[in-house]
Amino acid sequence: MSASQFASFAAYKPPPDEADGLTSSRTGIRTSYTEGTYQSGDIPTFSSPKLVSSQVEEDTYSNPWATRYGWRVDVLAFCAYIFGPLSALVLLILETHNDCVRFHAYQSALLTTPLVFFRIMLSLARFSSWTKLLSTLVIFTIQLLAGFLAYRQAAQHQLIYLHIPFIGPIAENWLADE
């Protein structure tokens, strides 16, 4: 048996179907690698330079109706108010592309968090059940009304933010500071 029939224990041996490239006359092992491969010492990337440049171009162009997951702006603006501070927090974490949705999430958090704390204080102070029920209905009505107004405004293709007095300018400043 000849030595060529046995397995080679060399550190790297190119596959037999790769015919192009330089080989060393002494060992028959490829000595030059294409740029961008791990063999050449570069850190491997999984995107071509063309894709990277198109991603940069996409980031410079901002569509005011685009959301991170492709959901509708009007529905997300409504959802910011529905579950109070919880839905506002979820939208602030998940939605990072649309300023209109983020504005309504900030405004919802600023509006509903004090109302929820007020309702908790009523329970801790042992107010009557009808007082707690009335406050719960008022809070829920405020949330529904603000959510409906945000939905209607976005559904009419108007990205002019609905500012709730005293809270809207704070939410606008927070959005501008991002």
pLDDT recorded at residue 73: 87
| Same-domain pairing of 71 and 159 | yes
Longest dimension (CA), the chain: 98
| Same-domain pairing of 141 and 95 | yes
Which residue type occupies 55? Q
Q: Which domain holds residue 126?
A: 64-177
Q: Render pLDDT for 48-105 as a digit per residue (tens, 0 to 9).
A: 444 344 444 444 456 667 777 778 888 898 999 999 999 999 999 998 888 888 999 9
State the Rg of the chain over Cα.
Answer: 30
Q: Which residues contact 131 (CB under 8 A, 6 or more apart)?
A: 122
| Same-domain pairing of 30 and 100 | no
Nearest to 84 by CA among 151, 148, 143, 167: 143
In a domain, 58, yes or no: no
| Same-domain pairing of 30 and 69 | no
pTM, two decimal places: 0.62
162 has pLDDT over 90: no
